[in-house]
Structures are given as C-alpha cells and as structure tokens.
Structure 1
C-alpha cells in the first residue's frame, strides 16, 4: 500500500465512530495551527493527514510491527473475528498494518478493513488478518481524518458527491504536495476535523 495521497471513492462516513473504539484517534490541536503532511486524499470532504512531528514515530512503529508479525504464529482458521475488532492486516504488498474490521463477505472468506494508520479501506482475505497484539493498541491511529471547512462541490451542498473529474482534485494535490499548516474549525462527531489549510 502506498503512502502517497490519491483520489479514492470509498470513504468512511462521519458516523463511523466504532472504528476508533479500541485504537484511539490521534488528535489535532484545537487552538493552535497544526503542521501536517497529507497522507491519503479522497476528496476535499475526506482526506487524511499525519502530524508532521509524528512521521518518524510512525516509521519506527511500522518497523516494530513488521518485526513482531514475522515472529507471530499463524492463527488457525477457527479464530473468530467480529466487526470493529482491531486486527493486523497484510495488504497486497505483504506489509502488515493495524486495522479495524468493518465487514465480512457472505461466506466470511474476505474482510473489509480500515487501515487506521493510513486512512484507506480494503477488502482482503481473512487468512491475511491476525488479532492485534496488545502492545500495538495503545498508540493512537496516525491517520487523522479531515475535511475542508465549508467547502462543497460547485452547485452542491455538504452531502453532495465530488465528481472524479472536478478540477479541485488537481488543485488540492498541487497545493498540498508538501507539508502544510492547518487550523481546526470544528470537530464532527469526534471522528473528522473540519480544517482550513494555510497556504504559504
């Protein structure tokens, strides 16, 4: 899984608070500006950032997680997983990530997971998930969900869907190619920050 931001249509909804039931969400400062780096972009109403000062922490955390999973015993097929359970999931590049189970397919051979440190969701085989070791639960999720404050599609409202060919996507990516400063304007249901981006 790439850690480059990109356009993606699927999105967690603002009412999906259970994804952070066990792994807490990293917090942005509500008063001062936050130095962030765009991690994963879906549209102006949903993108994910890292706190700039946490980038090295995340890299070290991932190294420790990979090392732990190399030594982890394979789980038998009798392991029972439940919705919103924190797990470790292996992506299609054989990299392990912390995740939360969102749903199962009808025969429970595939699982839809939300990668809490990346902000993406993906359907993966159930054989590629393991229970999350306890020592990796306490660290807050590195991916922080945000949306631009009071920005919506042209001739639309907050519930409108962004079109894939909307020129705002290219402009957003151009302006946000590096680190940015963002100010929190609101916190929606404790799951998504409404932010204003300060462009130098």
Structure 2
C-alpha cells in the first residue's frame, strides 16, 4: 500500500462502509464546495478523498506516528484486541497507519483492518498490529468516504455491483488524477457522502452514447 492515489477494481458491496466508532471522521462542508484529492478508489459508488488543505497536516501526522512506533516498547503480555478497536497496523512497506479492526480471521494469525487515513482494507498479521497510542486517537481520520450522487452501473440501480472491467474505472482514474471540487448532495448514515464532482466542461465520459447518460460527472459549464 502506498500514500498516493490508488485504483482497486475489485467488486465491492456499497452498504458496508467501515464505521468510525472511536476515531472521528474528517468532515466535508455541507454548504460550500470542497477542494479534494482522490486518495483511494474502488468504484464510483465507493472512493475516498482527503481535503486538499490537509495534505501537509497528514504528512506531518504520519511522520509523528512513525516516530512514535519506532520508540514503542512492547509488553510481555499479548494485547487482547476487539472488533472496532483503534490500532496501529504496519503495511507491507513497513509503514505504520492508524486502523480500525473489522474482523478476525479464522486462523487467528491475521486481522482484517480498515486504514482510516487511507480508506483501504487489508488482512494484517497480528504481529504487525499494536494498540494505538492515546495521542493519535483524536485526530479525525483523513480518508473521507464518498460516492457519486445518483450514479449506478449501466442498466442497474444503486444496489448493483460494479464490474471490474467496467470502462468507467479508467475514465474516473483519468479525470480525477488531480484535485477536484466537490459538492455534497447527501450524507448516508453519517458515514458516506453523496457528492457531485465539478470538472472542466471538455471532460465528458466518452465511452458510448448510452453510457454517458449514467456517467457524466456534473461538469462545470461556466
């Protein structure tokens, strides 16, 4: 896992957004437009952004977290973890991230965690998980869950699953590579923002005529 924009084309359900039970979630402005960058993309119904003005804050936060974990003193007693507990988990690049425990695998050697500052879920070896130091709990999670407002797969509905080979993934990747302005249309269960994305008027999703009806990203025509 890296600290930059990623694309992940596996199919996901849209109703299982991880809940921020202990670590608060960063908020988008419900009235004004928000300047955001894409942090982690799964499909148009599930992607994560962070506020552009928080880029430096996030970088400094990660530096402090890495330093704290370098100085971490493990105890002889193995911690007992519970679901939704905030923890620190080390990814396969040896980078520590704040995370929330989602599930325990049956083999009891791995834990499924949600990286709250990235938006990604991974199975992590229990040996690479530590209790989250108290001073890092109160910083709101940088990754903000979003989905495009009233967008669904072709010939589907909001409950439909996006196919991994859907051409919209490539178009989303191309159009959203940089910062964008988004406006909140709705907030689902205080977890996922339904948003409209403003992009230059020349950028339409030219996949085919019928698909454009479903996939236009609300371009700015001013």
**Contact 2:17–2:192 (CA<8 Å) still a contact in 1?**
no
Q: Could you tell me how far 1:19 is from its partner in structure 2? A: 3.0
Q: Cα RMSD over matched residues?
A: 1.7
SS of the equivalent of 2:59 reads helix
Determine helix, strand or coil for the equivalent of 2:119. coil
CA contact (8 A) 2:11 2:164 kept: no
**Per-residue deviation, residues 138-179 of structure 1 (Å, max 9, x unmatched):** 000000000000000000000111111111111111111100
Q: What is the CA–CA distance in structure 2 between the aligned matches of 1:41 and 1:61, rounded to whole Å?
A: 22
Q: Deviations over 1:35-92 (max 9, x none)?
A: 0000000000000001000010000000000000000012445210000000000001
Q: Is the 8 A contact 2:26 2:144 kept in 1?
A: yes
The whole-number CA distance in structure 2 between the counterparts of 1:75 and 1:167 is 50
Task: Supply the distance in 1 between the matched residues of 2:84 and 2:160 (Cα, whole angstroms).
Answer: 27
- Structure possessing the higher radius of gyration over alpha carbons: 2
Distance change in 2, residues 1:52/1:22 (3 Å): same
How many residues are aligned here? 200
Q: Deviations over 1:89-115 (max 9, x none)?
A: 000100000000001112321000000
Structure 1: which 5+ residue stretches go unaligned? Answer: none
Given that 1:35 and 1:182 are in contact with CA atoms closer than 8 Å, whether structure 2 keeps it comes out as: yes
Aligned to 2:208: none
Matched-pair contact (CA < 8 Å) for 1:23–1:137: yes
- 1:144 and 1:11 map into 2 onto residues whose CA distance is 20
CA contact (8 A) 2:89 2:130 kept: yes
* Runs of 5+ unmatched residues, structure 2: 201-222
Please give the TM-score of this superposition, normalised by the length of structure 2: 0.85
**Deviation digits for residues 109-128 of structure 1, max 9, x if unmatched?**
10000000000000010010
